[in-house]
Amino acid sequence: MHDVQNEVDERGIEVDQVGITGLRYPVLFSDSELRQNTIADFSVTVRLQADRRGTHMSRMVALVRDHLSTLDPIDLPRVLKAGQHELDAPAIEVNAELSLFTPVVAPASGAESMAVHDVTITGALANGACRISTTLHGEVTSLCPCSKTISDYGAHNQRSRVSLTVEGNSDDPYPLPVSEAVALIAASGSAPVIPLVKRPDERVLTMQAYEHPAFVEDMVRDLSAACRARGLAHRVAVRNLESIHSHDAIAVVVSGTSR
């Protein structure tokens, strides 16, 4: 059968990225500390040579089926090399978005619930160089130090959305497991966000936040400092969903990696 994709293209224009996106596929996420079944949303793209009319997108679906149904970030450099070979491409990128969950315990009642974290894992291979990044999104409570200082009583607080991206490479593709990233994010705020709390828990969490006020600047710096202590190339972003302002507050710190 004639292979139309392999026809010669005479326009002489290289395509930077071409491939598939929005491929939802069941996976078993498995790293050194966590093992969970979930659904991942995949994108797979390659760089297309100037003289090639098209790429073989069915091979990208097969790559996910054959190599990523068990998703271990440490294995991504091997998967990228396999994909680059199977698609005969000078560069390849694989992106997976998934949700993982970790158990949390309320501080007073001991009630258990599950916190859900959105995770994005991206691997790229080009010119023999492999780049892997893992991004975890989480939420904490933050209490405004200024509000606490200037008020006779009380202080405004809000939910804060925190994202932590850690970069790896072919030698160390996954330097910070998801569960450790969850713990670092949880420690960055004034108090944790817990799905199931009783009144005694609410009292503990409210007082904990009051005793540990934090600006958005404090949170990105503390989280960046924890990453620097581990020698991690990282990007930290925090967005406060402000409770008394009509705007949100944001802060970003990047260290040892591209913005």
| pLDDT tens per residue across span 182-196 | 999 999 999 999 999
pTM of the full predicted structure?
Answer: 0.91
- Type and span of the H or E element at 97: strand 91-105
DSSP H helical ranges for the chain: 57-67, 76-87, 145-150, 178-186, 199-211, 216-229
Q: Are 249 and 239 in contact (CB under 8 A)?
A: yes
| pLDDT tens per residue across span 189-226 | 999 999 999 999 999 999 999 999 999 999 999 999 99
> 76: left (phi > 0), else alpha (psi -120 to 50), else beta?
alpha
| pLDDT tens per residue across span 50-87 | 999 989 999 999 999 999 999 999 999 999 999 999 99
Give domain limits for the chain. 4-255
Nearest to 221 by CA among 248, 250, 190, 252: 252
Q: From CA 92, how far away is CA 84, in angstroms rounded?
A: 6
Q: What are phi and psi of 79, to 5 degrees?
A: -65, -40
For the domain 4-255, what is the CATH code? 3.10.270.10
Q: What is the DSSP string of 162-189?
A: EEEEEEEESSSS-SS-HHHHHHHHHTTS
| pLDDT tens per residue across span 16-54 | 999 999 999 999 999 999 999 999 999 999 999 999 998
Q: Given this model, what pLDDT does residue 103 score?
A: 94
